[in-house]
Chain A
Amino acid sequence: MSIDTVIFFISAVVAVFGATMMITQRNPVASVLYFIVSLLAQAVCYVQLGALFVGAMLVIVYAGAIMVLFLFVIMLLNLRGTEDLGASTGRVSRFTKYLVSILLIAELVFVIKSVFIPATTTGIMSMPADEFGNVAPVSKLLFTRYLYPFELTGVLLLVAIVGAVVLAKIDRGDKKRVTDELEESAGQATDGTAG
């Protein structure tokens, strides 16, 4: 076993472990931390595949920016994982819950089965071309072959920003808070005067 294989298995196990812990933790901060662990391990996998740029971006954007934002919100709301999130639901949805999870487990079993009886095997760590995954080749691809998805991503980000601003912006003279619709139905119609 080469040292590459060892590193791959370590990081793969850590990534899956982090992801699993992330969804099983009750404490949101612990969830975030495990997710970061998982992300870092994934970045190691990318680097091993020669995709240095993707690995670095994963750390900078996800671990370094987005997850900080998550932590920020969690801290601002001061969630400590003691809230009861498992409010009971109707019988139908409880049933669906189990049905869906059984289906997904069955699917997972099928997938794993097919891995252990593989039809064709390609090496896990077959190294692609030398420069692959570095900044220059990636950006060349982004601006030629994947130009369309790339520009679409730009539009998507733009509209996400616009949407966030629309929802969060405070208009001039927008002194009213969210109206309680119960009050409204009690006869205190406030529509038409808002805004």
Chain B
Amino acid sequence: MTDYVSALSIDISLLYPEIALLVAASVILVTAFLGRIARLAPALAVIGFAVSFLLSIEQWGNPKAGFGGMVTCDDFGVMFKMLFVIVSLLTLFIACRYFKVKGIDRPEFYALLLISTMGMMVMANSTDLVVMFLGLEIMSVPLYVMAGFNRHSLMSNESGIKYFIMGAFASAFLLMGIAFVFGAAETTNLRRIVADFNYIATNHRVYLYAGVGLVLIGFGFKIAAVPFHTWVPDVYEGAPTPVTAFFSVGPKAAGFAVMLRVFIFGFADIGLLTGAFWILAVLTMTVGNILALRQENVKRMLAYSSISHAGYILVALTVGGADSLSTAIFYLVAYTMFNLGGFAVVTLLETRAGCKSDFMELSGLAKTNPYLSALLALFMFALAGFPPTVGFVGKFYIFSAAVKAGFVPLAVIGVLNSFVSVYYYLRVIKTSYFDQLEEGRFASVTVTPSILFVLVITAVGTLGLGFFPQRLLEMSQAAVFAFL
């Protein structure tokens, strides 16, 4: 491994993808009040994302570090950067129409989305706790605003406020933890902590443990792991649906990226962590699935489902080791595909006047929109983990890696949980195919090109990766080997 710590260099080329997003956001903000040009905001954002994506690809396979070891631009970071751009881009396409219909289409949204994505990139790319924290805040602050973006809706306001308060709370835990770690290690740089780990762990054991525990709580809030999940359903339900889609994937992936960096790379030698992750994983899977059973609102159901999926990924983190961790990244990508797809359909249905995404509103969808309901069914099957979708492949990888590493009870609990989840996912399909609704209750759905694009991409991803997972798995393994 190269000597990253001494790399004090200020190397802007490490940050090109981030800078591209920031520039795009600034341009949107400056042009936001220029009337006609402001309408170009989505296009500008797409250009920003595309440029950022290309610049990220450029960095693949060429690990570098800079800024005093605060930034590490390895395959792991690049993989996540690309994932974030894809997530944001799909969100953007989902959002365009929805926001117009709801009358809250304002250019600032796209700037916030860009900056939030930039924050995620900063998180995934950093090997310094302070930079991670700043990235987390840059990611979160736009999210709070996006959650409350529909100012005319009390639900949206509530969602924004709740998310803000819980997010601030989580940040406090995280900062306190970082302070403790700093007190123990006299540095916030993960590479230095790894280098001096034995010294720190023997001399400042308690501070280190207290700090790591608090950091875990802070990140636990962000990935909505179970006992720190209470904000999820209300925030997800109240936020504009495309924003909910973004919440369920983007911040979660970013949270897992930093968790991998901090706990698998930085504090790998703390034995207690495996136990903590074990409990977190089991709780998160079980509570998420069981509470999802009782939901009457599709968005709330998907909120709990996203909690349970975080649990599956936590299983991979608990097991540890290159094989298992690469499945975690694989599953994150896969989950992005079918979850965003599912949300795209839900968003589309919600653009009908008077819809609030209750289960009942899905009734008779198969008659009015057969293709759409077929896609919805596909995504639900993937979420439930049916073959031949990528949902099955991902879960299979995770649980087989767990069994191989000797975590049999954990794997069994996970599989049982997947069985439980089948009930509520199939309920969506059942409602849309077998339930009847009086004629003309809702206007029919019009599929716009942007949403169609999202649906095609996610459907192709869900099925294609299910049949040919090899390439993605190899990339995930390359990403994991970058920091192990």
Q: CA–CA, A194 to B154, complex, Å?
A: 13
Contact A195 B103 (CB under 8 A): yes
> Is A129's beta carbon under 8 Å from chain B?
no
Contact A159 B138 (CB under 8 A): yes
B107-115, B243-251, B457-465: which lies at the A interface? B107-115
Contact B134 A185 (CB under 8 A): no
Contact A166 B145 (CB under 8 A): yes
Contact B112 A194 (CB under 8 A): no
Nearest chain A CB to B160's CB is how many angstroms away?
7
Q: CA–CA, A181 to B203, complex, Å?
A: 57
- Per-residue B-contact encoding for A150-169, CB less than 8 Å = 1, 0 else: 00110110111011011100
Main secondary structure of the interface of A (DSSP, over half): helix
> Is A193's beta carbon under 8 Å from chain B?
yes
Assuming A111-B210, A163-B112, A163-B142, is B153 touching A179 (CB within 8 A)? yes
Q: With a CB–CB cut-off of 8 A, which chain B residues contact A148?
A: 67-68, 70-71, 131
Contact A155 B118 (CB under 8 A): yes
Q: With a CB–CB cut-off of 8 A, which chain A residues contact B10?
A: 144, 147
Q: CA–CA, A194 to B104, complex, Å?
A: 8
Q: With a CB–CB cut-off of 8 A, which chain A residues contact B353?
A: 189, 191-192
Nearest chain B CB to A191's CB is how many angstroms away?
6
> Is A114's beta carbon under 8 Å from chain B?
yes
CB closest residue in chain B, given A113: B206
Contact A107 B213 (CB under 8 A): yes
Among B112, B160, B204, B230, the residue within 8 A (CB) of A159 is B112
> Is B387's beta carbon under 8 Å from chain A?
no
Q: CA–CA, A149 to B69, complex, Å?
A: 12
Chain A residues 130-189 with CB under 8 Å of chain B are 144-149, 152-153, 155-156, 158-160, 162-163, 165-167, 171, 176, 178-181, 185, 187, 189
Q: With a CB–CB cut-off of 8 A, which chain A residues contact B144?
A: 163
> Is B130's beta carbon under 8 Å from chain A?
yes
> Is A126's beta carbon under 8 Å from chain B?
no
Nearest chain A CB to B432's CB is how many angstroms away?
22
A side interface size, CB within 8 A: 42
> Is A98's beta carbon under 8 Å from chain B?
no
Chain B residues 63-104 with CB under 8 Å of chain A are 67-68, 70-71, 101-104
- Per-residue A-contact encoding for B109-129, CB less than 8 Å = 1, 0 else: 001100100100010000010
Q: With a CB–CB cut-off of 8 A, which chain A residues contact B148?
A: 167
> Is B29's beta carbon under 8 Å from chain A?
yes
Contact A163 B206 (CB under 8 A): no
Nearest chain B CB to A69's CB is how many angstroms away?
16
How many contacting A-B pairs (Cβ < 8 A)? Answer: 112
Q: CA–CA, A153 to B160, complex, Å?
A: 22
Q: CA–CA, A159 to B153, complex, Å?
A: 23
Q: With a CB–CB cut-off of 8 A, which chain B residues contact A153?
A: 134
Q: CA–CA, A191 to B153, complex, Å?
A: 9
Contact A119 B103 (CB under 8 A): no
CB closest residue in chain B, given A185: B356
CB closest residue in chain A, given B213: A107
Contact B118 A166 (CB under 8 A): no
Q: With a CB–CB cut-off of 8 A, which chain B residues contact A185?
A: 356
Contact A155 B138 (CB under 8 A): yes
Q: CA–CA, A7 to B71, complex, Å?
A: 40
CB closest residue in chain B, given A119: B203
Contact A152 B68 (CB under 8 A): no
> Is A101's beta carbon under 8 Å from chain B?
no
> Is A88's beta carbon under 8 Å from chain B?
no
Among A119, A179, A189, the residue within 8 A (CB) of B154 is A179
> Is A2's beta carbon under 8 Å from chain B?
no
Q: CA–CA, A107 to B177, complex, Å?
A: 12
Which among A96, A181, A191 has the greatest number of chain B C-beta atoms within 10 A? A191
Contact A149 B29 (CB under 8 A): no
**Residues of chain A whose beta carbon lies under 8 Å from any beta carbon of chain B:** 93, 96, 107, 110-111, 113-114, 119-120, 144-149, 152-153, 155-156, 158-160, 162-163, 165-167, 171, 176, 178-181, 185, 187, 189-195
Known: A110-B206, A166-B108. 17 other contacts (CB 8 A): A114-B207, A119-B202, A144-B10, A146-B68, A152-B138, A153-B134, A162-B29, A163-B112, A163-B142, A167-B151, A167-B160, A179-B153, A189-B353, A191-B102, A192-B103, A194-B102, A195-B104
Could you pull out 15 A-B pairs where Cβ atoms are within 8 angstroms? A111-B207, A113-B206, A147-B67, A148-B67, A148-B131, A156-B137, A159-B115, A163-B112, A163-B144, A171-B106, A178-B154, A178-B157, A179-B154, A181-B153, A189-B354
Give the top 5 A-B pairs by smallest Cβ distance, nearest first. Answer: A163-B145, A195-B103, A114-B206, A152-B134, A148-B67
